[in-house]
Structure 1
Amino acid sequence: MKKMKDERLIIKNLKNIRVAFLVQTIGILAILLYDVITVGFTEATRNPLWFLFIITVVVLSFLNIGVSMDVYDDTKMPKKPFPYYLTVMIIAFIGIAIGLIQLFYSGKISDAIIVGSVIFICFLVPFTYAHYLRKKRSEQLDK
């Protein structure tokens, strides 16, 4: 099989993939909406399609981080990346603050630790990935 070299065909192929992805996502949402209506939200979240939808949204978000970093970096002069340790400290502070709020409302320390840890991880992973992309971009520009 020959590899496509014509940019118009490559762009057309990517548009076709985008349309297929959109149809697939709308189908998944329709099935999940039907489950929510017929059996309720709690039972619908136990459907494996719910997990597939969440994973799809997370992967799409991470892929869009790379695109948005490229668009953002091209609009201005590149600047030195924010120190990573400060990012981790700020995220840890946010996780601790939300954990304390949860402790105040629920009164259970286990719930507060779980909520604070989940918030910490949910903030840390995308910021780490964005920092990695910025650092890689600045190293490429230095060469």
Structure 2
Amino acid sequence: MIGKFIGLMLLILPLCLLPAINALMLIGSAELDLWQIAAATLGLCLATLLFAAIGLYASSLTAQPGAAVLIAFAILLIFSIIGRAEILTIKTLSLFGWLSWNEHLFWFLLGTVRMSDLAYFLLFTLFFLLLTQRRLVNRRL
């Protein structure tokens, strides 16, 4: 399972650098905020690692690749729209808003690297990797 995740990382991370390389090609002809580009690239990398972990978890739930794609898409869709729920709103912070991955990615795209956003992506990536590992161990029993 860790080998698959590392393989996905090696495949995905160079693709995450392509927008930054594209922006850096404009360095002579436009004024660029290099820190914003770096923060956006970091956010994109962290988001894709979370997506890969969710995809691995979904693939551990079923042997059918098509079903795994639908499960992963459903999990990502739930985590995407859960921030729209306004049930437990406390001023501007809400539990549902914190669970939404796109709320955290938004700050990276603005050029702000917050510890809460880093923790979100790293903890949820680890969470889904641990769920995958637990699922595979239970399947072997």
TM-score tier after normalising by the smaller chain length: 0.3 to 0.5
Higher RCO (CA 8 Å, separation ≥ 6 residues) = 2
Decide which structure has the larger Cα Rg and report it. 1
TM-score by length of 2: 0.33
